[in-house]
Amino acid sequence: MGKRVPTIYTVADHAGVSIATVSRVDRGHPSVADPTARRVRASMQSVGYRPNGAARALAMQRHGAIGLVFPQMSGPYYTGVIVGLEEAAAGLGQGVYIVGTQGRVRPEQLVTDLSRRVDGLVLTGRTVPDELIAELQRQRLPVVLLARTAVGASDVVRTENTRSAQRLTAHLIEHGHKTIAFIGDPDSSPDTAERWDGFLKAHRRARAGAPKSPELSALRETEGRATATRLLGSRARPTALFCANDEIAMGAYAAAAELGLKIPADVAVTGWDDIPVARFLNPGLTTVRQPLTEIGAVAARLLAERVNGSRRHASTTVLPTEIIIRSSCGCQPQGGIW
């Protein structure tokens, strides 16, 4: 018959000590005599004791976990962030809960539920409405926002966009391109908005004619491919495509191949993110590297500071980006040094 799950009492009885001693042994408290500790450990083993984390969390008034909410985990972008976050969190003694909101019926409910079991939350992009974020803050839950505009007094982690976008665009202009299309939706995220901004700045700076508007596309291969196909098939075909991320750029590669256009001879392409596969594309994709794992790691650290109370004021962290020149922009394969 299903015997009850062994608890700290089971172990205490078995070892002939009090539950306090069992707890101390489990936590590695130094003040337990060696023979006792050995006996207790043997008992734990022998009854098959697995301490109940919920009870501990309740007693310690700390969940020992943080939550990460992302829109679509599928892409390499979030994978990188998650890896960085998980690793840093583990180092800080925090577990990591994940929740994807893409395609969920009631994402807000998921996030609310999640908020009950963590010491802090990392929210990315457009996963959660502002009101909910505000509500969580009212509940005094530490929140870090990634790739998202600030709400109230939360911490924010971002990466540099405008400046790199401007330089990358200038690079394309130097390659002689007159008509460069921007593929992406500035309204979809502050990051993309800043990239569009830098794109325009570079044109102004070079006194070059800029497109009046971006070519809208979601940050995904399929959408990028469709948009690129349309652009490259038109009469006034642009000679360069500034893609808001690498996945769009990959779509552009596919579109170009389909239309028999050579990259970069017929059309130059640049991406953003430097996802792992970028350098394996043919030709190598010129792009902008974001420190993905670092983003996650910083978020974890910020949360830890809030949780242990060592910091009370909201902070904004902007991580640097780096332009990676390969050959899709028209440079020689070995690549220039930026």
Q: By CB under 8 A, how many residues form the interface with a second copy?
A: 55
> Do the Cβ atoms of 336 and 171 come closer than 8 Å?
no
∠ Cα 311 315 317 (to 5°):
125
Report helix, strand or coil for 319: strand
**Of 129 and 209, CB closest to a second copy:** 129
Interaction partner, residue 182 (a second copy, DNA, none; CB < 5-8 Å by kind): none
Please tell me whether residue 300 binds a second copy under the rule CB under 8 A.
no
CA–CA separation, 10 vs 213, rounded Å?
A: 70
**Least spacing, CB of residue 92 vs DNA, in Å:** 17
Please tell me whether residue 254 binds a second copy under the rule CB under 8 A.
yes
Please tell me whether residue 319 binds a second copy under the rule CB under 8 A.
no
> Do the Cβ atoms of 77 and 273 come closer than 8 Å?
yes
Please tell me whether residue 20 binds a second copy under the rule CB under 8 A.
no
If you search the block for the tokens 């802090």, which residue do you land on? 120
Binding site for DNA (CB under 7 A): 4-5, 7-9, 16-21, 23-24, 26-27, 31-33, 35-37, 49, 51-52, 55-56, 58-61
Please tell me whether residue 313 binds a second copy under the rule CB under 8 A.
no
**Least spacing, CB of residue 109 vs DNA, in Å:** 15
Report helix, strand or coil for 110: helix
Tell me which residues in 58-97 interact with a second copy (CB under 8 A). 58, 63-65, 73-74, 76, 79-80, 82-83, 86-87, 90, 95-97
Interaction partner, residue 235 (a second copy, DNA, none; CB < 5-8 Å by kind): none
CA–CA separation, 245 vs 111, rounded Å?
A: 27
Interaction partner, residue 73 (DNA, a second copy, none; CB < 5-8 Å by kind): a second copy
> Do the Cβ atoms of 11 and 22 come closer than 8 Å?
yes
For residue 68, give the H/E element and its range: strand 65-70
**Least spacing, CB of residue 18 vs DNA, in Å:** 3
**Of 113 and 174, CB closest to a second copy:** 113
Please tell me whether residue 190 binds a second copy under the rule CB under 8 A.
no
Please tell me whether residue 223 binds a second copy under the rule CB under 8 A.
no
Interaction partner, residue 170 (a second copy, DNA, none; CB < 5-8 Å by kind): none
Please tell me whether residue 53 binds a second copy under the rule CB under 8 A.
yes
Q: Which residues of 246-262 are buried (b: 16+ CB within 10 A; e: fewer)?
A: bbbbbbbbbbbeeeebe
**Least spacing, CB of residue 97 vs a second copy, in Å:** 6
Q: Kindly write down the DSSP assignment for every residue of 16-59, as one continuous string.
A: TS-HHHHHHHHHT-TTS-HHHHHHHHHHHHHHT----HHHHHHH
**Of 96 and 145, CB closest to a second copy:** 96
Please tell me whether residue 48 binds a second copy under the rule CB under 8 A.
yes
Tell me which residues in 260-299 interact with a second copy (CB under 8 A). 276-277, 280-282
CA–CA separation, 280 vs 156, rounded Å?
A: 32
- In angstroms, the first-to-last Cα distance of the chain is 70
Beta bridge pairs of residue 156 = 145, 316
**To the nearest 10°, the Cα dihedral for 236, 237, 243, 249?**
160
> Do the Cβ atoms of 300 and 294 come closer than 8 Å?
no
Interaction partner, residue 153 (a second copy, DNA, none; CB < 5-8 Å by kind): none
Please tell me whether residue 245 binds a second copy under the rule CB under 8 A.
no
- Give contact residues for a second copy (rule: CB under 8 A): 5, 48-58, 63-65, 73-74, 76, 79-80, 82-83, 86-87, 90, 95-100, 103-104, 110, 113-118, 136, 138-141, 221, 250, 253-254, 257, 276-277, 280-282
